[in-house]
Copies of this chain bind each other. A is one copy, B any other.
Amino acid sequence: MDKVQYSTSVKDINQNYVEAQYAVRGLVPSTAAKIQEEIKNGKQYPFESITELNIGNPQTFGQKPISFNRSILASMLDPSILQHQSEDVQRRVKHYCDKIGFQIGAYSQSPGYPVVREAIANFIQKRDGTVEKPNINDILLTDGASAGITLMFNLLLKDNKDGVMIPIPQYPLYSAVITQCGAQQIPYYLVEEKGWSAEQTELEAQYEKAKQNGITPKILVCINPGNPTGQVFDKKSIVEMIQFASEKKIVIFADEVYQENIYVENKKFISFRKVALELNLNVEIYSFHSISKGITGECGLRGGYMEITTKVDPDVHFQIHKSKTVMLCSNTIGQLMTGLMVTPPTKEEGCNDLTIQQYNEECRALFSSLQRRAAIVTQFLNETKGVSCQPIEGAMYAFPKIELSEKFIQFAKEQNQEPDVVYCLDLLKETGLVVVPGSGFLQYPGTYHFRMTILILPEERLLAKMKIFKEWHETYMSKFQ
């Protein structure tokens, strides 16, 4: 048969998209999917099934959704079951329906339901303890935080001279979308030994270096709590970053999707908004939040919001809203779940003690299990020879450093692969554990890491898997001494 002549080959399409990489669903996870398929077809591996630690996806491990929230969503979709729900669920459904009707199958306004944005404004004000309350026109509901971040990159980045300062290591959404936009990455390295701290001097140095290379730094990305690194910024760090952005007149993207996920006693979540209001500096900050993380964990429903936390040029504000209209609206179930995330049942609302108690118990159980798992993973990794891991203060991941011998690095070179990729592929093939090579998140040259989630349930299973990891690593590495 003749070779088919396609009208479109890769060289004809958008090269920025061709170049973009998204490691969280890259080579290692796709190899894992193949192995899973092979196992189904009878091929033997030294494990029964793969364990997906590549992506923060709590419900795949059986994490339960909060039942109050789900009952409300279900009743909005099928009002005929409302009679079987509790009074408190019925009241909340009525609250939403008074504003939007049983019309969740209709497009909403492009920025999202006003009733949900109002609830978010209240939540933000209360969380930050500020006199100021956000205006709902500064809040836009999005299909997960990723959609908001992508929209804002596309809108704010003008051409291939524009640059985005991203922490290294970073969440690969950033590097992928910056590449898709045809803009430039400006890395600033977090200091691993200081618990992945962000240093003023590093920001300054990388900023200057970019300018010298003819790049215009436009956006500073701050991820707090950190992904993949798990650190929680203290107030001093946030103050420094805001002062830096204000001086340099660059915009801050505050990725605050893990704001509920803080596990250590001595740290708490401080929003960039709160600090910016206190400092009263001229600076433009966009904050992003999501229903996928926290204890809500509703990744599949795709909900979240972006908040324009400070005054921006009204014409830019208009462009943000206009750009949002092209995609019509984010999905209404995700919108409502975002409202539910920020509106627990309360006495003031009229809820009875049992509802509140059950809700709080579910939340507490979810949170304390995450907290225990963060500790288990940190401990096991640090007890593994040749592995070290900064404390997982927040978020849902460990990003341990692995010491790779010269012999191993040579071994990887012979395969034309990054050393951490070879490591992760062999870990996968021999244990079924799917983790993401550090190179996908970027890392300090000459250091090697991987990212794994802390999400395995039940906790005994996590313990068992961590033991498997420890034994595998030590045996595997001994071959390359």
> Which residues on A are within 8 Å of B, measured CB to CB?
4-10, 12-15, 17-18, 20, 22, 24-25, 55, 57-60, 65, 67, 70-71, 73-75, 77-78, 80-81, 84-85, 103-108, 110, 143-144, 146-147, 150, 154-158, 173, 176-177, 180, 218, 249-251, 282-284, 292, 297-302, 311-313, 315-316, 319, 322-323, 325-334
Contact = CB atoms under 8 A, between A and B. Distances in A.
B60 A71 contact: no
A59 B106 CA distance: 5
A325 B25 contact: yes
The 6 closest A-B pairs by CB, nearest first: A74-B78, A7-B249, A300-B332, A59-B106, A302-B331, A25-B325
A7 B302 contact: no
A315 B106 contact: no
Given A4-B282, A103-B300, A146-B328, 14 more contacts: A9-B315, A12-B218, A17-B323, A20-B322, A60-B107, A71-B80, A81-B85, A105-B299, A106-B299, A144-B328, A154-B180, A176-B326, A180-B323, A331-B331
Nearest to A297: B105
A140 to B, nearest CB: 14
Contact of A80 (B59, B67, B311): B67
A75 B81 CA distance: 10
A73 B78 contact: yes
B284 A6 contact: yes
Contacts of A312: 6, 8
19 contacts: A7-B251, A7-B282, A10-B315, A12-B218, A13-B319, A14-B154, A73-B77, A74-B74, A74-B77, A81-B84, A104-B300, A104-B301, A105-B298, A106-B299, A107-B299, A143-B327, A147-B327, A180-B323, A300-B331
Nearest to A81: B81
| Residue among A12, A106, A143, A312 with most chain B CB within 10 A | A106
Contact of A106 (B60, B77, B155): B60
A217 to B, nearest CB: 11
Contacts of A25: 110, 325, 328
A22 B334 CA distance: 24
Contacts of A332: 300-302
B158 A15 contact: yes
A367 B77 CA distance: 21
A147 B146 CA distance: 14
Contacts of A78: 67, 70-71, 73-75, 81
A157 B13 CA distance: 6
A106 to B, nearest CB: 4
Nearest to A181: B14
A13 B151 CA distance: 12
A75 B331 CA distance: 19
